[in-house]
Each structure stands twice: as structure tokens, then as C-alpha cells.
Amino acid sequence: MEYMNKTVEIYTDGACSGNPGIGGWGVYLIYGDNKKEISGSEYNTTNNRMELKAAIEGLNALKRPSNIIIYTDSVYLKDGITKWIFNWQKNDWKNSNKKDVKNKDLWISLIGSAEMHQIEWKWVKGHIGNVGNEIADNLATNAISDARSIE
């Protein structure tokens, strides 16, 4: 596969009002001078589901194979996709306690969304002034407000 020369930076964040509750996800994409913001919401969801949804939607926004750095403030997302997922798949989607992996549907979707790309996953500390992370966070929390206003 031929990848684009420049690296696409994707900042993702999920938020939830109540857990479960109304959730929002936000994605801030940067490619050279191009910037794009996308977001969405769901009812009766969890923060972890919104973190996963943000990563999936960020990847799905790309139309061709890309070199990507995904920045997330979710250890669950970063460790899940870079460490835990291999054993989950090997163990028929059971965790180390032999229980079903939570959010299996979204993990499988994330694998599918990621497969055509070269991705480096980076954890960033949230809410400390990282501009990309702050934009993604604002998109996620605004998506919750928007969903509330049409409830």
C-alpha cells in the first residue's frame, strides 16, 4: 500500500454525562495546513465507548491509506489497541478474567477502520493546554449539549 507522504494528526476525545448517560465524541484532524473537526453523540452510552467511537470516526474520515498519529487522553483506548487487543483476539474476546471483553463491537470496528493505515498511538495528559486535545474535548462536550437540547 502506498501511504501519503505527510502524517495526519488525529486528536480524539470522548465524554459522557452520567456513565451510562448521554455521550459525545470529538475528533480534530490535521493534515498539513488542512484542519477538520467532527463530532457526534449517543444516548445511553459510556465514556469508554465514546473514546473508541472518536478514534473510529477519525479514521473513517480518511479516504486513503495514511501515516497517522492518533493522540488520545484515554489509557483505555491506547492500551486496548496497542497491548490488550492481541490477547483478546487470541482468547476469543475474553479478558484475563475469562469474561467477555467490554465494547467488543467497537474494538472490532476500530480494527477494521485502522487496518489500511500506519498508525502511531500516543497518550497525552488531558486538560493541560494541549491545543488539539482541548479542541477534541470541546467537540465532545458540545456534542453532549447539542444532544441534550433536542432530547
Q: Catalytic residue positions? A: 13-14, 51, 73, 127, 137
The single-letter DSSP state of residue 101 is: P
Please tell me what DSSP assigns to residue 96. T
Cβ–Cβ under 8 Å, residues 126 and 133: yes
| 3 state DSSP class of 132 | helix
Rounded to whole angstroms, how far apart are CA atoms 9 and 151? 33
